[in-house]
Amino acid sequence: MSDPVTHLLHHPYQPPAGFAAPQPGVFKASTVIFPNVAAMRARDWKHKHGYTYGLHGTPTTFLLEERIAALEGGAQCVLVPSGLAAVANVDLALLKTGDEVLIPANAYGPSKALAEGELANWGITHQLYDPMDPADLAARLGPRTRLVWLEAPGSVTMEFPPLAQLAHACRQRGVTTALDNTWGAGLAFNGFDLATPGSGADIVVQALTKYPSGGGDVLMGSIVTRDEALHLQLKLTHMRLGWGVGANDAEAVLRSLPSIALRYQAHDRAARVLARWLQARPEVARVLHPALEGSPGHEHWRALCTDPGQGGGGRAAGLFSVVFHERYRMAQVDAFCDRLRLFKLGYSWGGPVSLVVPYDMPGMRRHWPHRGTLVRFSVGLEAAADLQADLAQALDALAKT
Ligand SMILES: *Cc1c(COP(=O)(O)O)cnc(C)c1O
């Protein structure tokens, strides 16, 4: 080894083992080096016994998978590059030509778009069901139904479904259920244990992009299961699709996870203050927030997200929607959004900065009962009083138009 470049590449120094610090290290790899050919031939990408290739896991991603599985109350986890990739990975692992998937009518939009696009192209049909009506779901469950998506609440309409009843209807028919638990974040309720232990979804996915990241700067998704065979089915599809996540992104989520419960509570507290305050404003026809009495599915939220006997206010995320009085045209409501200073215009949620998005509801939810324009707010970590003052100045200007 006379050449200095070769020497650099094969330098013998190894730092001492046993380094301990609050934050785990970041391990980056495409290539994983095997000690010998026998180890290479005996490689096992399915379990966390060892390492085979960067796509199949590193110490950093294994660590995050185990922590997310624990957060959701599950046993296994697969990480994917976005929340939408988690939805797609589940669809592709479980569905084949001739199958049908049922999706809530108020579901995350791109999940419906995937069903209307690629799934339809591959001969997989879908139906939208009314998430607030278990009888509607039961009537749509057919011999070709292989998968039912659940989501609580719809992240724009904020309707909180009778989740345990929906899951029960599927379980009775032996149909696999997958819950998009991005709103609950593994904190508001346990997606696997709804009415009773084990009565919940078979698969729980989350956009880690939202609360687990908490920074508005990472895209990642998780797919959590309790059943080893189902996990391996999802992981096999994951391997074939080549969906890896970057170690630096995994590290960013690992760094944010210890504060997730505190952040979730802070987002929740401020969102409820603002939602209640908005209820009293004359410009507003309706505030949709599952923790507010009279909001669609409030009783389902109460049953799932409050602890009996504790008398507390329950758990909710920092999201709510407002339906403006129908006397305001869409352009006036757009101007209201433009006038906000602390609430920024942008998609996604769960980060420190408050966000606002106006939606065009007729395209998003069949039989939508409200006529006024809907605006969805994601409350960040700013002081609630400052956010309220921001809303007040934009509402006062709206009232004058
Ligand atoms: C944001 C979101 C997703 C998708 O997450 P991305 O990481 O942005 O792809 C899926 N479901 C829900 C409910 C979401 O809010």
pLDDT in tens, 220-257: 999 999 999 999 999 999 999 999 999 999 999 999 99
Q: What is the pLDDT of residue 310?
A: 67
For a substitution probing ligand 1, which of 68, 108, 114, 319 has the most ligand atoms within 8 Å of its CB?
Answer: 108
Pocket-forming residues, ligand 1, beta carbon under 6 Å? 82-84, 108, 155, 180, 182, 207, 209-210, 219, 221, 348
For a substitution probing ligand 1, which of 155, 220, 245 has the most ligand atoms within 8 Å of its CB?
Answer: 155
Q: Give yes or no for residue 287 having a pLDDT over 70.
A: yes
Q: Rounded to the nearest whole angstrom, what is the distance from the C-alpha of residue 21 to the centroid of ligand 1? A: 32
Strand-strand pairing, 355-359 and 176-180 = unpaired
The residues near 103 (Cβ < 8 Å, ≥ 6 apart) are: 111, 112, 115, 126, 127, 128, 129, 149
* Six token digits for residue 279: 């209820």
Residue closest via CA to ligand 1's atom 6 equals: 83
Q: Which of 136-150, 276-290, 296-310 has the lowest mean pLDDT?
A: 296-310
Q: Give yes or no for residue 311 having a pLDDT over 70.
A: no
Q: Rounded to the nearest whole angstrom, what is the distance from the C-alpha of residue 370 to the centroid of ligand 1? A: 25
Q: What is the pLDDT of residue 286?
A: 97
Q: Rounded to the nearest whole angstrom, what is the distance from the C-alpha of residue 12 to the centroid of ligand 1? A: 45
Q: What is the pLDDT of residue 312?
A: 65
What does 219-248 look like in DSSP terms, one character per residue? --EEEEES-HHHHHHHHHHHHHHT----HH
State the CATH class of domain 259-399. Answer: alpha beta
Q: Which class for 123: exposed (0-12), middle (13-18), buried (19 or more C-beta within 10 A)?
A: exposed
The per-residue pLDDT for range 327-349, each reduced to its tens digit, is: 999 999 999 999 999 999 999 99
Q: Average pLDDT of 355-383?
A: 90
* Six token digits for residue 229: 């065979």
For a substitution probing ligand 1, which of 158, 159, 206, 209 has the most ligand atoms within 8 Å of its CB?
Answer: 209
Q: Could you tell me the CA-to-CA distances from 219 to 82, 209, 213, 214 in Å, in that order?
A: 5, 5, 8, 11
From the list 340, 319, 336, 318, the residue with the least C-alpha distance to 373 is 336
Residue closest via CA to ligand 1's atom 8 equals: 83
What does 54-108 look like in DSSP terms, one character per residue? GGG--HHHHHHHHHHHHHHT-SEEEEESSHHHHHHHHHHHH--TT-EEEEETTS-
Q: What is the pLDDT of residue 104?
A: 97
**DSSP one-letter code for 325:** P
Q: Does domain 37-258 have CATH number 3.90.320.10?
A: no
* Preceding omega of 153 cis (within 30 degrees of 0): yes
Q: What is the pLDDT of residue 326?
A: 94
Q: Rounded to the nearest whole angstrom, what is the distance from the C-alpha of residue 16 to the centroid of ligand 1? A: 41
Q: Rounded to the nearest whole angstrom, what is the distance from the C-alpha of residue 385 to the centroid of ligand 1? A: 29
Residues of the chain with CATH 3.40.640.10: 37-258
Q: Give yes or no for residue 269 having a pLDDT over 80.
A: yes
Q: Give yes or no for residue 272 having a pLDDT over 70.
A: yes
Q: What is the pLDDT of residue 17?
A: 92
Q: Give yes or no for residue 81 having a pLDDT over 70.
A: yes
Q: What is the pLDDT of residue 195?
A: 86
For a substitution probing ligand 1, which of 84, 223, 377 has the most ligand atoms within 8 Å of its CB?
Answer: 84
Query: What proportion of the chain, given as a percentage, has pLDDT over 90?
Result: 93
The residues near 119 (Cβ < 8 Å, ≥ 6 apart) are: 91, 95, 101, 125, 126
* Six token digits for residue 191: 């997606």
Q: Could you tell me the CA-to-CA distances from 192 to 62, 140, 160, 243, 337 in Å, in that order?
A: 21, 23, 17, 25, 38
Q: Rounded to the nearest whole angstrom, what is the distance from the C-alpha of residue 85 to the centroid of ligand 1? A: 9
Q: Average pLDDT of 16-40?
A: 95
Query: Do the beta carbons of residue 208 and residue 180 sit within 8 Å?
Result: no
The per-residue pLDDT for range 168-195, each reduced to its tens digit, is: 999 999 999 999 999 999 999 999 999 8
pLDDT confidence of 8, banded at 50, 70, 90? very high
Q: What is the pLDDT of residue 160?
A: 98
Question: What is the arrangement of strands in the sheet containing 319-324, beginning at the earlier edge strand?
Answer: 284-288, 319-324, 374-378, 355-359, 344-345
Residue closest via CA to ligand 1's atom 3 equals: 83
Residues of the chain with CATH 3.90.1150.10: 259-399
Q: Which of 56-65, 310-319, 343-352 has the lowest mean pLDDT?
A: 310-319
Q: Give yes or no for residue 370 having a pLDDT over 90.
A: no
Alpha carbons within 13 A on the beta-carbon side of 116: 7
Query: What proportion of the chain, given as a percentage, has pLDDT over 70?
Result: 99
Q: Which residues pair with 78 in a beta bridge?
A: 223
Q: What is the pLDDT of residue 82?
A: 98
d(CA 121, CA 176): 22
Q: Give yes or no for residue 52 having a pLDDT over 80.
A: yes
Nearest-atom index, ligand 1, CA of 107: 13
d(CA 348, CA 355): 8
pLDDT confidence of 362, banded at 50, 70, 90? confident
